[in-house]
Structure 1
Amino acid sequence: MIIRGKLRLLATLSLAASMLIVTAGESAYAQTLPGAGKTVKYARGSWDTFWVGGYVIQLGLERLGYDVVEPSTLSVNIIYDALSTDQIQFTADGIAPLQNSVMDKYQATVAKAGEIENPASITGYLIDKKSSEEYNIKYLDQVKDPKLAGLFGSGGKARMSGLDTTWSAGTSAGVLGDIKRLGLSDTVTVETGSYDLLMSDAISRYLAGSPVLLYSWYPNVYTQKLLPGRDLVWLSFRQGEGRDGITSVQGLAGCAVAGPSCYGVTSMTYYVMANKKWLSENPAAAKFISLVKFPMQDRAIQNQKMEEPGQRSDIAIKKYAEQWILEHKTEFDSWIEQAEQK
């Protein structure tokens, strides 16, 4: 009995020693990670269609040892103010050319750390496909005609939905500038407010059989409910009607004008924007962020999934990011390995 007791004691001590060795090894490894002992804060935009990108960055930085605080949800201008003063270190919701003016304003302290999604989306003016075909509406400037404008509103004036009050001043100025330059001020009312509420209202009107005129982008949860090419069409500008940021996209599905390109829409790129000083002091984080790529089609799938019950919560979006990382494990691990070498 005494011998058995001693043997059990020795086995217990051996197991405890092994556990201490493993724990000590893990602790030593954690302390060697480039982000060990460092806390990172970040923010995301008030729209939720690319919150998944922020979580992918967050999870990667955590792999590098950083303690990443769950994101704050802020308007564009406040995000850049906070980035500039190092109150937050990064955002995955930097969008060019939509935010070009605010990016230029803060270029001394805030940098494009990584091109995370390109192309990220197509932005422009859309109407329902039925109205386009029935009334031969292909160009935005045709809504200068009160008879056509009245289709999308009342009293000879169209309702254009989709401009969020929290978006950058440059975005609002671009849209309102288009309306003024094309002579549409008397026939188009640009409705501003919560993008989600405006688009939900537009979808309700469409489903009730009413024509709709929108300023929006693809992909997001709303332009996947009303899909360009199926429910909606992109309106073009005529040559010479454009402005900075207006481009010609080749082979764009759902363009009202037949031909190889659709002039009058904008191809967007999502950037991870970060505090310059933080990037210089954290080369591993900077390297990782510069490598991350998230395809537009993957975001379209995730945005569609967000329409399912319970899939729009932070927990669900973060879980999708975790699943995406697992599905791209080889590529993701290589980003981490390259970052650890910095």
Structure 2
Amino acid sequence: MHSTTTLQLPLKHATLALSAACALGLATQAIAETDRPGEGVSVQPAVASWTSAVPVSWAFVELLEELGYDVQTPISLSNPVAYLAISEGDADYWPNGWFPLHDPQLPDNFSDVATLFDPHCPACGIQGYLVDTPSIEEYGITGIDDFTRDEVKAAFDATGDGKADLFGCPPGWGCHEGINAMLDKFELRDHINHVDAGYAANFAEALSRIQAGEPALYYTWGPSAWLLSLVPGNDVMWINAPGIVEDEAERAEGVEGAVSDPIEMGFVAADIQVAANNNFLEANPAAAELFRQVRLPLEWISEVDGAMDEQDLTDAQVRPLVAEWIADNRDTVDEWLSAARSAAE
């Protein structure tokens, strides 16, 4: 009896210990699965070819990896190819959609096989015309139509042809066509000369003139490093300009550094959105919820784009800057991740 009893007690304790260990192991596994719902899932992103797309791309890579996903290196694709790749499942998502600008580039069946999420950077894809702040104040400039006034034309005439010079875009760019269409539609050719050299050269000329205290009118867009070199609301101001099509006549509200609120930019302000394959989303509710949650500030995207330009950073060298931003905004990021994890439960 004693020997049997002696043998039974350790066995009982061992069974309890084993049960506890198993329960602990299952609980630990459950916690791990909850924290990393993407564990074991490979994800293939696409990324746009312009530089300001890079920090946006790495932000989603970093966050998906925190959810446990095995995210592959983003493949650089042109817009139409990216949307085709998503619709066919060759890429799982692309965080660089500019809408409505990219609407014509979507495949016919895109809405059946893919999803466009609410903007992670609403109205961030802005483009339009800017004037140095001292000239805004001196000449009372509020819009492009002010450049039909003789005193304004004379002040902004850098080439001596009697017209105000608009430092714009080179041939082949969409903005080149947009500027020329505006000049033609609103009969501004006799008042404004579109300087259509390479954009970097044009911006350098506008920057040089403004730094020298001379007037300058130029076109730019954001997110971009250009918005850091001449800061709207400080060095320069966005001015009103009519759109060349009816849809572009809508006024934008809350544009930082604009002469009016709302302001007529002349171009549609694009929402920057994630596009993703529906099959991927259905299989990965955590990723889908993350795409719904993320919001990225225009100023930060432009700052990283500026650093890329100034320091000649590679795509890989941008990633630590993204990780730093995530660390600085940890509380907000954790809310996004918590929502994504809850969606997977």
TM beyond 0.5: yes
Cα displacement (A) at 1:57:
0.8
- Change in CA separation of 1:31 and 1:75 when aligned onto 2, cut-off 3 Å: same
Give the Cα separation in 2 of the matches to 1:32 and 1:133.
55
Give the Cα separation in 2 of the matches to 1:158 and 1:222.
21
For residue 128 of structure 2, what is the aligned residue in structure 1? 124
Cα displacement (A) at 1:206:
4.2
Q: Which runs of 5+ in 2 are unaligned?
A: 1-23
Alpha-carbon displacement from aligned partner over 1:97-120 (angstroms, at most 9, x marks no partner): 332333485633443134211242
Output the amino acid matched with 1:155.
D
Mean alpha-carbon deviation: is it higher for 156-165 or for 87-96?
156-165
- 1:180 to 2:184 alignment: yes
Q: Which runs of 5+ in 1 are unaligned?
A: 1-20
- Change in CA separation of 1:112 and 1:94 when aligned onto 2, cut-off 3 Å: same
Cα displacement (A) at 1:53:
1.9
For residue 67 of structure 1, what is the aligned residue in structure 2? 70
- 1:151 to 2:154 alignment: no
Q: Are the counterparts in 2 of residues 80 and 102 from structure 1 also a CA contact under 8 Å? A: yes
- Change in CA separation of 1:82 and 1:231 when aligned onto 2, cut-off 3 Å: same
Give the Cα separation in 1 of the matches to 2:188 and 2:284.
49
Give the Cα separation in 2 of the matches to 1:164 and 1:30.
52
Normalised by the size of structure 1, how large is the TM-score? 0.72
Q: Match for 2:283 among 281, 284, 288?
A: 281
For residue 13 of structure 2, what is the aligned residue in structure 1? none
- Change in CA separation of 1:32 and 1:308 when aligned onto 2, cut-off 3 Å: closer
For residue 54 of structure 1, what is the aligned residue in structure 2? 57
Q: Are the counterparts in 1 of residues 127 and 265 from structure 2 also a CA contact under 8 Å? A: no
Give the Cα separation in 2 of the matches to 1:229 and 1:316.
30
- Change in CA separation of 1:331 and 1:152 when aligned onto 2, cut-off 3 Å: same
Give the Cα separation in 2 of the matches to 1:75 and 1:177.
25
Cα displacement (A) at 1:85:
3.1
Mean alpha-carbon deviation: is it higher for 206-215 or for 44-53?
206-215
- 1:232 to 2:236 alignment: yes
Alpha-carbon displacement from aligned partner over 1:207-257 (angstroms, at most 9, x marks no partner): 45664332223453212211223322222136x97731343244645434x
Give the Cα separation in 2 of the matches to 1:254 and 1:91.
30
Alpha-carbon displacement from aligned partner over 1:50-79 (angstroms, at most 9, x marks no partner): 422211111122223322222233433333
For residue 99 of structure 1, what is the aligned residue in structure 2? 102
Give the Cα separation in 2 of the matches to 1:59 and 1:166.
35
Give the Cα separation in 2 of the matches to 1:135 and 1:128.
11
For residue 15 of structure 1, what is the aligned residue in structure 2? none
For residue 196 of structure 2, what is the aligned residue in structure 1? 191
Give the Cα separation in 1 of the matches to 2:225 and 2:289.
31
For residue 223 of structure 1, what is the aligned residue in structure 2? 227
- Change in CA separation of 1:336 and 1:204 when aligned onto 2, cut-off 3 Å: same
Give the Cα separation in 2 of the matches to 1:162 and 1:104.
31
Paired residue total:
314
For residue 322 of structure 2, what is the aligned residue in structure 1? 321
Task: Show the 5 A alignment for 1:238-317.
Answer: 243-250=246-253, 252-256=255-259, 260-264=261-265, 266-303=268-305, 305-306=307-308, 309=311, 312-317=313-318
Question: SS in structure 1 opposite 2:263?
Answer: strand
Output the amino acid matched with 2:230.
L
Question: SS in structure 1 opposite 2:340?
Answer: helix
Cα displacement (A) at 1:91:
1.9
Q: Match for 1:88 among 68, 88, 91?
A: 91
Output the amino acid matched with 1:182.
F
Question: SS in structure 2 opposite 1:115?
Answer: coil
Instruction: Look at both structures and tell me which one has the larger radius of gyration over its CA atoms.
Output: 2
Give the Cα separation in 2 of the matches to 1:117 and 1:270.
5
Output the amino acid matched with 2:318.
I
Task: Show the 5 A alignment for 1:36-47.
Answer: 36-47=39-50
Give the Cα separation in 2 of the matches to 1:104 and 1:63.
32
Output the amino acid matched with 1:191.
D
Q: Are the counterparts in 2 of residues 132 and 138 from structure 1 also a CA contact under 8 Å? A: yes
Cα displacement (A) at 1:94:
1.2
Q: Match for 1:79 among 66, 77, 82?
A: 82
Alpha-carbon displacement from aligned partner over 1:269-296 (angstroms, at most 9, x marks no partner): 2111223333233322112111111233
For residue 17 of structure 2, what is the aligned residue in structure 1? none
Give the Cα separation in 1 of the matches to 2:240 and 2:109.
32
Q: Are the counterparts in 2 of residues 118 and 295 from structure 1 also a CA contact under 8 Å? A: no
Give the Cα separation in 1 of the matches to 2:295 and 2:248.
23
For residue 10 of structure 1, what is the aligned residue in structure 2? none
Output the amino acid matched with 1:325.
I
- Change in CA separation of 1:230 and 1:330 when aligned onto 2, cut-off 3 Å: closer
Give the Cα separation in 2 of the matches to 1:51 and 1:129.
31
Alpha-carbon displacement from aligned partner over 1:289-333 (angstroms, at most 9, x marks no partner): 1111123344355445556646x4324421121122222323323
Give the Cα separation in 1 of the matches to 2:48 and 2:304.
17
Identity %, equivalent residues: 27
